[in-house]
Amino acid sequence: MKCSSSRTLRFICLLLLASLWLQAQAQITLSQVDMPTSGDTFRLSISTTTGGLDPAQTGPDHIWQYWGLSPLTQQLDTFIAVSATPFTYQIFFNSPIDPHRATMAIRRSLFDIIPGFEVGDVYEFYRSSGQHFGLSGYAGSFSGIPIPVKFNSTDIFYRFPLAYGNVDSSEVNFDFSFPGLGSLYIDKKRVNVVDGWGSLTTPFGTFQTLRVKSTVTEFDSLYLDTLSQGIAIPRNYTEYRWLAQGYGLPVLQITIEGMMTSVAYLDSVRTSSSGLLNNTTAEALELQLIPNPSRNLPGLQLNAAHPQEVSIVVMDISGKEMIRIPEKLFSGENLLRLPLSELSLSAGLYFIRVEGEQQQWLGKWIKH
């Protein structure tokens, strides 16, 4: 920009240059150093509502005010080395000749990529490189048989350098067949747009962020030989991620699929008036619900450290208690089936919490 010798014009020119400089400073750029690494642990607060805010609103130098978010529960995510996962999984995800090999993993207690079919001993595998960060696939065990779901390429969340205006896409698929067990097919296409930058405020603080919108089209198909039945699920969902420099995971992520909304944001230890977070001394473990979704209340599968008396609480989406049932747990694996046919519940999302002496278990149940 060429400025005149006039004092007034020079002053205006300086203001414009300062404005451009400040705008350039506010627009952050992210790279691999801003992604998680093996050994990192993150605490996330989880909710199912945005507080009435529309996550589609975005743009340059935007201000997002999500300070009113209220957690229903919290979880800890710890990234581990691929070499720390079961050896069978390492064969598929840690091959030195695979250009899409995973670089880290997270252990989960439940594999629910296809609703209604639950798999244990679950891991999510991720790949972080100087070029991109994304998901390599999953692995779990069904009826004692390990099932690695290794994508043919990386489901890319971000390409580096990540900056405002970036647009990219990726496609992955997986096709697995095991005689006598069944088959699983996954086909997914993701389109990413860095559609905003600016200031984001959550209960955890205020951050300068980039906003990434991901539109995902996915088709999942599962057939079980043992049951002689299968399920095919076309899925379309949108993920909104706000990322800040040096924080690893998104400081806020909102996922919308149909009528379902899930919210996760980095946070400190919280308590909640909803009743879902009322014991910060007890680790909240994930409760496996079989089947899920279902018309009637599903079976509850959990592992207890020792015999104890517990309370099973069914709550609606706001945390309001619908019913409380006393039960007894044995040491080890427990499968509880509850006679709740007399309880009339409308279709929708519910939370089920098992309150023990030193442990809590929490799960989400979708009623048809």
Superfamily of domain covering 284-367:
Macroglobulin (MG2) domain (2.60.40.1930)
Residue 76 confidence (pLDDT) above 80: yes
Cα–Cα distance, 158 to 132 (Å, whole number): 6
Residue 223 amino acid letter: Y
Cα–Cα distance, 368 to 362 (Å, whole number): 20
Confidence (pLDDT) at 105 = 96
Instruction: Say if residues 1 and 16 touch (Cβ distance below 8 Å).
Output: yes
Beta strand pairing call for 167-178 and 182-202: antiparallel
Confidence (pLDDT) at 143 = 66
- 168 against 122, higher pLDDT: 168
Instruction: Say if residues 256 and 265 touch (Cβ distance below 8 Å).
Output: no
Confidence (pLDDT) at 248 = 94
Round the average pLDDT of the chain to a whole number and report it: 83
Residue 59 amino acid letter: G
Residue 228 amino acid letter: S
Cα–Cα distance, 249 to 198 (Å, whole number): 17
Residue 111's pLDDT band (cuts 50, 70, 90):
low
Taking the CA atoms of the chain, what radius of gyration do you get in angstroms? Answer: 23
DSSP-assigned letters across all residues of 108-167? ES-B-SSTT--BEEEEEEEEE-SSEEEEEEEEEEETTEEEEEEEEEEEEEEESSB-TT-E
Residue 142 confidence (pLDDT) above 80: no
Confidence (pLDDT) at 214 = 98
How crowded is the C-beta side of 348, counted as CA atoms within 13 Å? 11
Confidence (pLDDT) at 301 = 82
Residue 12 amino acid letter: I
What are 214-271's pLDDT values in tens digits?
A: 999 999 887 877 767 778 889 999 999 999 999 999 999 999 998 889 999 998 876 5
Residue 16's pLDDT band (cuts 50, 70, 90):
low
Residue 330's pLDDT band (cuts 50, 70, 90):
confident
Residue 274 confidence (pLDDT) above 60: no
Confidence (pLDDT) at 283 = 52
Cα–Cα distance, 237 to 256 (Å, whole number): 6
Instruction: Say if residues 234 and 246 touch (Cβ distance below 8 Å).
Output: no
Q: Indicate if the alpha-carbon torsion angle 114, 152, 107, 190 is positive or negative.
A: negative
What are 185-219's pLDDT values in tens digits?
A: 899 999 999 999 999 999 999 999 999 999 999 99
What is the residue extent of each domain of the chain?
A: 32-266, 284-367
Q: Indicate if the alpha-carbon torsion angle 45, 46, 49, 50 is positive or negative.
A: positive
Q: Is 97 exposed, middle or buried (0-12, 13-18, 19+ CB in 10 A)?
A: exposed
Point out the least confidently predicted range of 108-112, 129-133, 180-184, 315-319.
108-112
Confidence (pLDDT) at 345 = 78
